[in-house]
Amino acid sequence: MKTLIFSFFFLLVSSLSYGLPADWGKTGHRATGAIAQKYLSKKAKREIEKLLDGQSLALVSTFADEIKSDDNYREYAPWHYVNFPFDSNYDIHPKSDKGDLYMAIQKCMEVLKDDNATKEKKAFHLKLLVHFLGDLHQPLHVGMAEDRGGNRFQVQWFDEGTNLHSVWDEKIIESYQMSYTELAKNSKKLSKNELQNIQNGSVKDWMYESRGLCEQIYKTTISGDNLGYLYMYDYVDVVRSQLQKGGIRLAVLLNDIFK
Ligand code: ADE
Ligand code: ZN
Ligand code: ZN
């Protein structure tokens, strides 16, 4: 009987956590972490290895999603996204006092640069930073509050009901059927110039780049649409490019923090 009750609760808990939105999804976040790893300086690699006790950036990239269902970490939930209207901008739009994705990235960098922060606090914020650079490159995480970044924008994906946010978090990546290591290994070969262009700019510039993509997505997607191969082929390169940019730019920030 005990085993039966235990199994029931196990199934209940796993089905509840399965239903939570997971942003880029594990594959996307891990790909960003694995790509960043390739662009780290020696010093950054060493310092990160010490802080994370040898865990890879890919492995810790999903930590911020794993703590989402824990009430003790509720304050971090609004840190995964930033919303403002299309006809406004981040600087003039009133900020949420609970924080947002842009503010979260600044906070993580501040802790990692603070000589007085404990190893534990730094490790925690490093794991969050790895995740949030991924989120920053998911266009619908720089979205609009009305439809909760597309979570309330209903569409179908290969005849099954879902929402636009979920299509961009994971459906496109899932349908592409590549593991995170394959995505990292097969990311586009970049010229020096292309690489430099990606590395340039500020976190805010990168946020607005995502916002530009988000606007484009809203122009090309109609509520209730049945999306499939055409949509996937139109956008899979955008997704792959965003994962690559997220990884390269995460390394830019980490190389600067641990210089
Ligand atoms: N909840 C509200 N807005 C959101 C967004 N842009 N992305 C993810 N979750 C959200
Ligand atoms: Zn998401
Ligand atoms: Zn997230």
- Is a pLDDT exceeding 70 seen at residue 104? yes
Residue position matching structure tokens 């930590």: 63
Token pair, residue 121, equals: 């606090």
Range of the domain at 11: 2-257
pTM for the full predicted model: 0.92
CATH of the domain at 53: 1.10.575.10
Residue 142 DSSP symbol:
E
DSSP readout, 19-46?
TS--TTHHHHHHHHHHHHHHT--HHHHH
How many A from CA of 24 to the centre of ligand 1?
A: 12
How many A from CA of 212 to the centre of ligand 2?
A: 17
- Is a pLDDT exceeding 70 seen at residue 37? yes
Name the closest ligand to CA 81: 1
How many A from CA of 165 to the centre of ligand 2?
A: 6
Considering only CA atoms, which of 154, 157, 127 is closest in space to residue 64?
Answer: 127
Considering only CA atoms, which of 202, 178, 191, 195 is closest in space to residue 244?
Answer: 195
- Is a pLDDT exceeding 90 seen at residue 15? no
Closest C-alpha residue for ligand 1 atom 6: 149
Distance CA 244, CA 34 (A): 10
pLDDT category of residue 12 using cuts at 50, 70 and 90: very low
How many CB atoms sit inside 10 A of residue 83's CB? 20
pLDDT in tens, 67-101: 999 999 999 999 999 999 999 999 999 999 999 99
Where do runs of H (alpha helix) occur along the chain?
2-18, 25-38, 42-51, 57-60, 63-66, 101-113, 119-136, 164-166, 172-176, 180-185, 192-199, 203-220, 229-257
- Atom of ligand 1 at shortest distance to CA of 83? 6
Domain total in the chain: 1
pLDDT in tens, 167-188: 999 999 999 999 999 999 999 9
pLDDT in tens, 105-157: 999 999 999 999 999 999 999 999 999 999 999 999 999 999 999 999 999 99
